[in-house]
């Protein structure tokens, strides 16, 4: 894995290549892989909790009753009950727009069969099937964890892109997030860091700057 100092240089260079914008840009990390046969089914679908959070991830909770009320009190980005869930199932276009709007989904375990039936064909391919929440679990704790997380997804491709924070954050915090993601990814690779060909950092509208990973 690359060093913290190398990552800091990448982030600094990405900021310099960004240019001034009238909105807060995200910083993204792009990882290019080698010597992995994605045609044989290798894939990644990992939720990584980041050490530092900038703009929190958008989380939707599918729940009714007490859990739904607690999710609203905890200011979940959206809370829908079984009736709203079934209504979504009647409109595929709206369902796709709804699913694309949120980073993560949490669902009362009792609603999981309905979720699978109504939205499974949309959520599944996007790697967004809800995390089940038991009736006696703290929905507040689940929300806190997922708001500070990012989804790492690799499917039929030799590269992935993920958000590591935004430009309001310190370089050291962004580097810590990037290294946490890389550490999680490396554990899933057949040959660890040897399967990483290139690491790039870019802002939303900026040019990607890269570092060719060293093979040991």
pLDDT in tens, 44-90: 888 999 999 878 899 999 999 999 999 999 999 999 999 999 998 88
- Find tokens 């967004």 and name the residue: 128
Q: What is the pLDDT of residue 107?
A: 97
Joined together, the tokens standing for residue 29 give 């990390």
Q: Quick check: 211 pLDDT over 80?
A: no
Tell me the per-residue pLDDT of 168-195, one tens digit each, with 9 for 90 and over.
999 999 999 999 999 999 999 999 999 9
67 with 110, same domain? Answer: yes
Joined together, the tokens standing for residue 115 give 């979720």
Residues in the chain: 216
Of 109, 125, 146, the residue that ends a domain is 146
Locate the DSSP E strands across 2-138.
Answer: 26-33, 43-49, 59-62, 78-80, 104-108, 131-133
* CA separation for the pair 143, 58 (Å, rounded): 10
Longest CA–CA span in the chain (Å) reads: 55
162 with 205, same domain? Answer: yes
89 with 140, same domain? Answer: yes
Q: What is the extent of the structural domain holding 121?
A: 59-146
Of 146, 164, 195, the residue that ends a domain is 146
Q: Quick check: 30 pLDDT over 60?
A: yes
Q: How many folded domains does the chain comprise?
A: 2
CATH number at residue 49: 3.30.190.20
8 Å CB contact between 27 and 133:
no
Tell me the per-residue pLDDT of 81-122, one tens digit each, with 9 for 90 and over.
999 999 988 888 899 999 999 999 999 999 999 999 999 999
- For residue 208, report the phi and psi dihedrals to the nearest 5 degrees: -75, 135
């Amino acid at each position: 894995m690359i060093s913290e100092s190398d990552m800091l240089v990448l982030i600094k260079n990405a900021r310099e290549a960004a240019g001034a914008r009238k909105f807060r840009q995200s910083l993204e990390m792009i990882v290019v892989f080698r010597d992995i046969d994605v045609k044989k089914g290798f894939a990644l679908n990992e939720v990584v909790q980041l050490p530092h959070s900038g703009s929190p991830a958008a989380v939707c909770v599918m729940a009714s009753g007490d859990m739904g009320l607690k999710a609203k009190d905890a200011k979940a980005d959206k809370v829908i009950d079984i009736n709203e869930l079934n209504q979504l199932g009647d409109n595929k276009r709206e369902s796709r727009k709804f699913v694309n709007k949120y980073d993560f989904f949490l669902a009362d375990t009792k609603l999981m069969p309905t979720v699978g039936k109504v939205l499974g064909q949309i959520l599944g391919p996007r790697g967004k099937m809800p995390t089940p929440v038991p009736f006696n679990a703290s929905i507040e704790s689940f929300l806190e964890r997922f708001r500070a997380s990012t989804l790492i997804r690799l499917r039929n491709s030799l590269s992935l892109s993920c958000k590591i924070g935004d430009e309001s954050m310190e370089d050291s915090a962004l580097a810590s997030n990037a290294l946490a993601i890389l550490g999680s990814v490396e554990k899933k690779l057949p040959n660890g860091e040897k399967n990483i060909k290139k690491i790039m950092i870019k802002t939303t509208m900026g040019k990607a700057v890269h570092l060719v990973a060293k093979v040991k």
